[in-house]
Amino acid sequence: MSESKEERGRPANQAPAGLDDAELVRRTLAGELPAFDTLVGRYQKRAVSASYRLLGNSHDAMEVCQDAFLRAYQSLGRLKEPTRFGPWLIRIVSNLSLNFRRSRRATAALPVDDALGTEETATAGRPRRGSGHSTPPDPLSSGELAGQIERAVAELPEKQRLALVLFAIEGWPQRDVAEVLGCSLEAVKWNVFQARKTLKVKLAEHL
């Protein structure tokens, strides 16, 4: 059977661009590698952008994304909702980026006020800044205690960890975090609240 004009003009390593994510996932699982190449091309820019926002370094972001695409390919059979390949991939990218950042000890310390918040901000999002009065530096923001906060954050359930870091610390818009987590905007706030509640319990002796 002869190829169509569209097929003749398409690179050999790409599946038809008009296919949706679910079909490309299905074809990849059936052994059609060009289908996964198409998924990579579709989400590469977004993945690198997400990683860059967490790492601040384009080289590191590219390295993390290469690892993320490999892990996504290896784990593709466990993806329960193929239509949500994009958010699932960005969740992998975000987790790997946070792990990469945590491994760089010079930038490991998280902002204590953003991580723990206050009773007022635990459900509202980021703490308000620039209120006109200064507060003494928090001893948890340096040295060994900062490492304890980092470890406590790393032990949170995945959705709570990502919601806290992406929304409350990195300042991502709620809608972006909700898309990555596959949940509602209210669920993002709930996960931030639960994450802060857990951290305060774990770190109570230091507060």
Question: Per-residue pLDDT tens for 91-141?
Answer: 999 999 998 988 775 444 566 677 777 544 444 444 444 444 445 545 544
Residue 190 lies in a domain: yes
Task: Summarize the confidence of residues 149-169 as an average pLDDT.
Answer: 89
What is the tally of helices (H) and strands (E) in the chain?
10, 0
Residue 97 lies in a domain: no
The residue that leads in pLDDT, 196 or 6, is 196
The residue that leads in pLDDT, 158 or 148, is 158
On whether both 15 and 71 belong to a single domain, the answer is yes
Q: How confident is the model at residue 12 (pLDDT cuts 50, 70, 90)?
A: low
Task: Summarize the confidence of residues 21-37 as an average pLDDT.
Answer: 95
pLDDT of residue 118: 55
Q: Which DSSP symbol is given to 173?
A: -
On whether both 43 and 115 belong to a single domain, the answer is no
On whether both 65 and 151 belong to a single domain, the answer is no
On whether both 63 and 114 belong to a single domain, the answer is no
Task: Summarize the confidence of residues 61-71 as an average pLDDT.
Answer: 97
Supply the CATH number for residue 32's domain. 1.10.1740.10
What residues contact 121, with CB distance under 8 A and at least 6 apart?
127, 128
Supply the CATH number for residue 197's domain. 1.10.10.10
Do the beta carbons of residue 95 and residue 162 sit within 8 Å?
A: yes
Share of the chain above pLDDT 90, in %: 53
On whether both 77 and 113 belong to a single domain, the answer is no
pLDDT digits (tens, 9 = 90+) for 1-10: 444 444 444 5
On whether both 69 and 123 belong to a single domain, the answer is no
pLDDT of residue 172: 92
Task: Summarize the confidence of residues 70-80 as an average pLDDT.
Answer: 96
On whether both 60 and 122 belong to a single domain, the answer is no
Rounded Cα distance, 165 and 193, in Å: 12
The residue that leads in pLDDT, 188 or 4, is 188
Task: Summarize the confidence of residues 57-78 as an average pLDDT.
Answer: 96
Give the domain range for residue 201. 108-128+139-207
pLDDT of residue 147: 74
Number of domains, the chain:
2
Task: Summarize the confidence of residues 38-50 as an average pLDDT.
Answer: 95
Average pLDDT value for the chain: 81
Residue 62 lies in a domain: yes
